Amino acid sequence: MFKRRTLVAFAATAVLAAAPAFAQFKERTIKFTNGVNEDHPVGVGVKKMQEVLNAKTGGKMKIQAFWGGAAGGDLQATQALRAGTQEMVCTSSSPLVGIVKELGVFDLPFLFASEKEADAVLDGEAGKYFNKKLEDAGLVNLAYWENGFRNLTNSKKPVAKAEDFEGIKVRVMQNNIFLDTFKTLGTNAVPMSFGEVFTALETRTIDGQENPFVTIETSKFNEVQKYLSVTRHAYTPFLVLYSKKLWDGLSPQEQAVLREAAAEGQKVQRQANRQLNEKSLASLKTKGMQVNEVSPAEQKRMFEKVKPVYDKNVPTIGTEAVNVVMDGLKKARGG
């Protein structure tokens, strides 16, 4: 009996001790939107964020997630953040170029050779540089998550060397740098919204498209595409953004716990993304896609071929932003 009373007293003391710690947090429901589905690795990251918030705020700060663009597109949500009418969005860098032109650096072809390089640049001085630019535009970036490397699929031929791009009609994002890249590689590049891609491939209006392995599998492009070439021609980060207007209304403790939650989410999201990409690649092979790797020597030749894309777009992006990333890459490559 004595032991039981002691345990009850101990539990009550623990609750009382925790109460002041949680008192600094207000009850908040944070609207979080993104364009992917909940089974995407972003879902793993959001789940981890909520676990951290539960533990650190006693469940007072809650994330209400809207998946698959259910609450509007990424750009629309980002503008809502800037206006202070929504708290959070997870978006890739590409749609944000109209808001922060310097983010166009991540659309440049063959910039990163590996995830390790991308992590080193994004989590280093370059990441801080872009965070400052975002803050000036009314957006607080809590962490860089991962969308990943993009690869080419098509219905005509394997693409193993620079010359193989010639004559393929490829859908690209409605983005000038991607358009320039694929034109320079010799394809007939067609800008098109993502929702139209499957039908266009099925009807042979276009021959190919480019996306990370996970997107290729979940979009069932294997049903209308024969060849998958591991080109790794672009790496895109996800950004976990918070409205600067609403952020400034949070207490320092609330801000700190959100940053911690996003950083913990980053670890599991990146890991899940990399594991799922490997799984999707293996799955696409079993589903009948002919997969070919591109050798480092050929990737270098492809990079040489697209150098004019850098010359043309660097002035628009800003030399400073490109140099900051190149400096980070130099460090990551050991010199």
Q: pLDDT tens digits for 134-145? A: 999 999 999 999
User: For residue 1, what pLDDT is reported?
Assistant: 53
At 2, is the pLDDT very low, low, confident or very high (cuts 50, 70, 90)? very low
At 16, is the pLDDT very low, low, confident or very high (cuts 50, 70, 90)? very low
- pLDDT, tens only, 33-85: 988 888 889 999 999 999 999 999 999 999 999 988 888 788 899 999 999 99
Long-range CB contacts (within 8 A, 24+) of 324-327: 324/125, 324/126, 324/129, 325/105, 325/111, 325/121, 325/126, 327/125, 327/126
Q: Which CATH architecture has domain 27-332?
A: 3-Layer(aba) Sandwich (3.40)
Token pair 């900051």 is at which residue?
A: 324
Number of Cβ atoms within 10 Å of the Cβ of 50: 20
This prediction's pTM: 0.88
Tokens at 69, concatenated: 């663009």
